[in-house]
């Protein structure tokens, strides 16, 4: 019997994760159309195999199908980029036609005014000079005055008091924060997690902390300092966010080689790729002894700390009503900690403000609710709106 050995040759483009799903408004440059039509000048993006792998790992950690995952993924290393992932697919990424665009990297400049090139060209820089300048002499290396291109060395120099190295680290952090804000907008504020991978992302706890600082108001994102400090082994998938953060922060070690092997095996039908499926929650019938639901209620909270009495009131309402909602006025679309807590504890659905106003116009009673009531020591005012028509003002306070 003959033994046959098969050689399977495949190509796994590093750009495919982006080019397969990015919309024209994300990948087109504002350059003459013929450059795109004739020369393919557009944004392609890179680190695609890393993003594909990390997105799958994140989905498993969140207990969701890949198609349900929204995330901002930061692949931070000597080469650095970020990706906005919506429903498991790339909708935008920081790298462009080449890996030069976007974040500050070890020796690459990242985003830079194109006019700088014309300016330097007029002063004697050739095309090859400019290419070397932007790709090999810039980034952390350029900002630090040529001292180092590795973030570990930059950090050590900064700790020793070198101001140029400290600036290089700060510029790196700020560029990442800039794109987190941009991608939060692209994802309409619905971000399951900010994910860190790559050498810096997986092993630099202080860098993660600085990048995610002060994001509680914007995304409900907050890092647990202790968990973050110990998540530096580069081997484990770790949630380093606080318990009630509405946007989680994960460290997910990437494995681009494994992802390439997995894609190759799936093409060769050596493994079966399971398509994401919607998991339906089982319907639990109420106990015969339970009280019959008496209607729908909506809590409108004007502010204040999360008091145990308020949580207890919500639990009590859920045993007597078919549906319970919670509305908390939050300015500029920000999600505060209390709203994040109530969403997580009670698994509340997001209800647009317009829907609440529509309900108010039907009952003609919402005008009686003071959405920003006066506060007093130890408590806040909760207003309970029974959508069947009755309005009861409840005071949930503690001594």
State which H helix or E strand residue 75 sits in: strand 71-75
Tokens matching residue 314: 């919500």
Neighbour tally for 38: CB within 10 Å: 9
Q: Which residues contact 381 (CB under 8 A, 6 or more apart)?
A: 301, 302, 304, 370, 373, 374, 375, 393, 394, 395, 396
Catalytic residues: 14
**Cα–Cα distance between 195 and 176 in angstroms, integer?**
12
Residue with tokens 């000597």: 78
Residues 236, 253 contacting (CB under 8 angstroms): yes
Q: For residues 104 and 143, is the Cβ–Cβ distance under 8 A?
A: yes
Give me the DSSP letters along 139-204.
HHHHHTTSS-SSHHHHHHHHHTT-HHHHHHHHHHHHHHHHHHHHHHHHTTT--SEEEEEHHHHHH-
Integer-rounded Cα radius of gyration of the chain = 26
Q: Which residues pair with 381 in a beta bridge?
A: 395
């Amino acid at each position: 019997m003959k033994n046959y050995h098969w050689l399977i040759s495949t190509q796994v483009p590093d750009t495919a994760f982006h080019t397969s799903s990015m919309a024209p408004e994300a990948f087109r440059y504002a350059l003459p159309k013929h450059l795109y039509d004739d020369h393919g000048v557009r944004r392609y993006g890179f680190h695609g195999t890393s993003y594909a792998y990390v997105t799958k790992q994140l989905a498993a950690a969140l207990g969701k199908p890949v198609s349900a995952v929204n995330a901002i993924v930061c692949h931070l290393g000597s080469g650095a980029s970020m990706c906005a992932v919506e429903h498991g697919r790339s909708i935008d990424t920081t790298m462009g036609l080449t890996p030069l665009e976007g974040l500050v990297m070890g020796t690459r400049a990242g985003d830079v005014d194109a006019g700088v090139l014309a300016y330097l060209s007029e002063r004697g820089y050739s095309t090859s000079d400019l290419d070397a300048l932007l790709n090999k002499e810039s980034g952390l290396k350029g900002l630090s005055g040529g001292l180092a291109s590795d973030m570990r060395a930059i950090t050590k120099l900064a700790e020793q008091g070198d101001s140029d190295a400290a600036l290089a680290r700060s510029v790196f952090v700020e560029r990442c924060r800039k794109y987190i804000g941009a991608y939060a907008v692209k994802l309409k504020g619905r971000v399951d997690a900010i994910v860190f991978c790559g050498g810096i992302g997986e092993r630099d706890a202080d860098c993660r902390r600085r990048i995610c600082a002060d994001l509680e108001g914007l995304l409900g994102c907050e890092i647990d300092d202790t968990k973050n400090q110990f998540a530096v082994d580069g081997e484990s998938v770790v949630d380093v966010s606080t318990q009630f953060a509405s946007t989680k922060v994960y460290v997910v070690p990437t494995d681009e080689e494994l992802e390439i092997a997995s894609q190759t095996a799936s093409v060769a039908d050596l493994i079966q790729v399971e398509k994401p499926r919607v998991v339906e929650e089982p319907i639990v019938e109420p106990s015969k002894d339970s009280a019959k639901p008496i209607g729908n209620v909506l809590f409108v909270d004007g502010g204040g700390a999360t008091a145990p009495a308020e949580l207890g009131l919500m639990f009590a309402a859920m045993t007597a009503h078919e549906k319970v909602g919670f509305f908390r006025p939050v300015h500029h679309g920000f999600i505060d900690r209390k709203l994040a807590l109530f969403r997580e504890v009670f698994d509340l659905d997001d209800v647009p403000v317009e829907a609440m106003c529509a309900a108010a116009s039907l009952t003609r009673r919402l005008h009686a609710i003071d959405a920003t009531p006066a506060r007093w020591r130890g408590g806040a005012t909760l207003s309970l709106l029974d959508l069947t028509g009755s309005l009861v003002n409840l005071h949930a306070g503690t001594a």
